């Protein structure tokens, strides 16, 4: 069974640096409002604007960048929210943000020099996402760039993934949350855009499950993740406008069922719920391939693996075929995860386990015909 941790602050790496505007030695800055058309938002944001769902964030392409600060409003998770920051497609590094002004450290986050950008000759790509599976709200009010910096258009990748799952996809128990989870790693390897609607403890069936008030069959179609239920300033849900997914995904990947099993949902009921969910998702994504993971199960110290709903997924696929849907496929993950790949106390994959899963899935995707992009669409130019 997948238990959700107590809602609490998450471990930190860098503390957000608060700077007082107007100090005599402070450099001049340019304020960019949150509705600037060249801020490229990804994931799900409400109208505040604030993030929901792990991995949601934004991307910037800036010419002449030497400093960047984020001004965050009071809907930001208190006392802090952990975000991943990547500069010029370098590794994501955790930075802690709080309500108010936060300076983003640019130097040291990438092996690529930004000296040309500082001199106004080149561009810098900054990617920021909220990586927590809970406590993940970033309420962006404005950006501050150094004087002379200029926002340029960010061109998204020509390839995009949509991932749908529970804690096994959300990166629960990992030091950097979803940024170290197999869906995120897969998206990065393929140089793709990737939205991840994954929530620890959530069942597919619309039931109360390990701290979640709803199941994914309801929540996927909402702006908010199930954290809304505990958020006093936003304890309601709103429909998600799928036209806001830019770009629309090319591939939809689903890994669900562990928490239905943990709540004793019968296999027949689970099959019917999954078929209804696929019908509703197919109404949105009419031509994209659906890739359904079979369970990799719960590996045990003696080498055995406990699998849930062993016959359900083939029945789901066969039923879709009968309905004429020949664009739904099973990803057989049997044997992908062993006891050495999981935390012994909760059976969730470790950092190395997620890397292994990502590698196996990447091979599967390439054999399926999905090829990594050769380069990011927004390139770094000196």
Q: Of 17-26, 78-87, 354-363, which range is least confident?
A: 17-26
- Whole-number percent of the chain with pLDDT over 70: 89
Return the bridge partners of 30, or none.
145
Q: Are 60 and 154 in contact (CB under 8 A)?
A: yes
Q: Are 102 and 130 in contact (CB under 8 A)?
A: no
- 109: pLDDT strictly greater than 80: no
Segment 116-130 shows an average pLDDT of 79
- 16: pLDDT strictly greater than 70: no
HSE-CB at 19 with a 13 A cutoff on CA atoms is 19
Q: Are 359 and 321 in contact (CB under 8 A)?
A: no
Separation CA 317–CA 360 (nearest Å)? 21
Ranges of CATH 3.40.50.1110 domains, the chain: 160-368
* Overall CATH class of domain 29-152: mainly beta
Ranges of CATH 2.60.120.260 domains, the chain: 29-152
Of the candidates 349, 360, 351, the one whose C-alpha atom is nearest the C-alpha of residue 168 is: 349
> According to the model, what pLDDT value does residue 4 have?
38
Predicted confidence (pLDDT) per residue in 49-80, tens digit: 999 999 999 999 999 999 999 999 999 999 99
> According to the model, what pLDDT value does residue 120 have?
53
How much is the pTM? Answer: 0.91
Superfamily (CATH) of domain 160-368: SGNH hydrolase (3.40.50.1110)
Q: How many CB atoms lie within 10 A of CB 37?
A: 7
Separation CA 165–CA 33 (nearest Å)? 33
**CA quadruple 365, 366, 368, 371: dihedral positive or negative?**
positive
Q: Are 56 and 129 in contact (CB under 8 A)?
A: yes
Separation CA 287–CA 274 (nearest Å)? 19
- 96: pLDDT strictly greater than 60: yes
Return the bridge partners of 254, or none.
164, 292
Q: Of 11-15, 185-189, 260-264, which range is least confident?
A: 11-15
Q: Quick one: 139 exposed, middle or buried, by C-beta within 10 A (0-12, 13-18, 19+)?
A: buried
């Amino acid at each position: 069974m997948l238990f959700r941790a107590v809602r609490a602050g998450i471990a930190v790496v860098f503390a957000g640096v608060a700077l007082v505007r107007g100090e005599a030695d402070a450099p001049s800055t340019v304020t960019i409002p949150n509705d600037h058309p060249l801020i490229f938002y990804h994931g799900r944001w409400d109208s505040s604007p604030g993030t929901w769902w792990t991995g949601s964030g934004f991307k910037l392409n800036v010419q002449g960048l030497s400093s960047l600060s984020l001004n965050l409003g009071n809907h930001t998770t208190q006392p802090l929210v952990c975000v991943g920051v990547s500069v010029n497609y370098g590794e994501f590094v955790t930075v802690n943000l709080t309500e108010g002004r936060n300076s983003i450290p640019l130097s040291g986050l990438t092996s690529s020099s930004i000296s040309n950008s500082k001199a106004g000759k080149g561009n810098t790509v900054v990617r920021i996402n909220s990586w927590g599976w809970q406590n993940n709200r970033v309420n962006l009010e404005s950006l501050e760039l150094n004087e002379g910096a200029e926002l340029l258009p960010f061109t998204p990748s020509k390839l995009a993934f949509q991932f749908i799952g529970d804690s096994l996809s959300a990166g629960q128990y990992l030091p950097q949350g979803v940024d170290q989870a197999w869906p995120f790693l897969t998206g990065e390897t393929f140089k793709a855009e990737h939205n991840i609607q994954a929530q620890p403890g959530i069942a597919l069936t619309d039931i109360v499950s390990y701290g979640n008030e709803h199941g994914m069959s309801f929540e996927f179609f909402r702006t908010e993740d199930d954290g809304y239920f505990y958020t006093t300033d936003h304890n309601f849900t709103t429909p998600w406008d799928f036209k806001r997914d830019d770009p629309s995904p090319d591939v939809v990947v689903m890994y669900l069922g562990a928490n239905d099993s943990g709540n004793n949902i019968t296999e027949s009921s689970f099959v019917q719920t999954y078929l209804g969910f696929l019908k509703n998702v197919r109404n949105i994504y009419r031509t994209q391939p659906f890739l359904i993971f079979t369970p990799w199960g719960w590996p045990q110290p003696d080498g055995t693996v406990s699998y849930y709903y062993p016959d359900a997924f083939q029945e789901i696929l066969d039923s879709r075929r009968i309905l004429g849907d020949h664009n739904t496929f099973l990803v057989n993950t049997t044997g992908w995860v062993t006891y050495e790949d999981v935390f012994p106390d909760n059976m969730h994959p470790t950092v190395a386990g997620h890397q292994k899963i990502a590698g196996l899935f990447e091979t599967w995707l390439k054999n399926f015909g999905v090829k990594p992009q050769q380069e990011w669409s927004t390139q770094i130019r000196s």
